[in-house]
Amino acid sequence: MRGAFITLEGIEGVGKSTNVEFAAATLRAAGKNVLVTREPGGTALGEKIRHWILHEEHGALSAEIEILLMFAARAQHLEQIIRPALAAGTWVVCDRFTDATIAYQGGGRGGALRLIESLRSAVQRGVDPDLTILLDAPVAVSVGRIAARRPDHFEREAAVFFERVRQAYLGIAAREPQRLRVIDAAQPLDEVQRRVRAELDTVVARFTG
């Protein structure tokens, strides 16, 4: 039996990194072999693209160029890491996937959704998350949490950009409520993680029951 593919999404400052590790630990405690990865990243090419974009070693990029770069990294990630792991029965927990491209480059930047959907079909070839956990919080909460960080390429954006990204994420959730589960990330961490655990328990039961 193949492994399950689980992704975590959300705007900046909602606790994705913390909850990616929590999700992996929860699944390991349930007896699953787990691979943790991220996008862009996960491969040598993906990490180079990640560094190049986030640290702005490129000047201004159009939304379409960002989309193409994200899918170049994603194609390599799927080929080298995600598909082989799933086929071997490993559960994959990924920090961001294609929903992030739809939300950030599509919703935030106004990039062509038709281009994203075309690349999604060509690159993923049926590999979609079995569960996506959307950690959602108001933009004011997000901005407050990242205020002390040294901002990267995306974190320098204005609040209006993050509101567009957030609404794009919520739009995906409305269209795909069975796959994408929304958790209020403005709650205390223990409550957020109680909800995350409940969603993971459901997927474990579905795959092993």
Integer Cα distance of 62 and 117 in angstroms: 17
- Structural domain including 87 reads 5-208
Q: What is the mean pLDDT of each run of 10 residues along the chain (209 residues)?
A: 96 93 98 97 94 73 92 98 98 98 96 96 98 96 73 68 96 98 97 98 92
Q: What's the pLDDT at 197?
A: 98
What is the tally of helices (H) and strands (E) in the chain? 9, 5
What is the reported pTM? 0.93
The number of residues making up the chain comes to: 209
Number of separate domains in the chain = 1
**Which CATH number goes with the domain that contains 31?**
3.40.50.300
In the sheet that holds 180-184, the strands lie side by side as: 34-38, 91-95, 5-9, 131-136, 180-184
Question: CA 206, 81, 126 angle in degrees (round to 5)?
Answer: 55
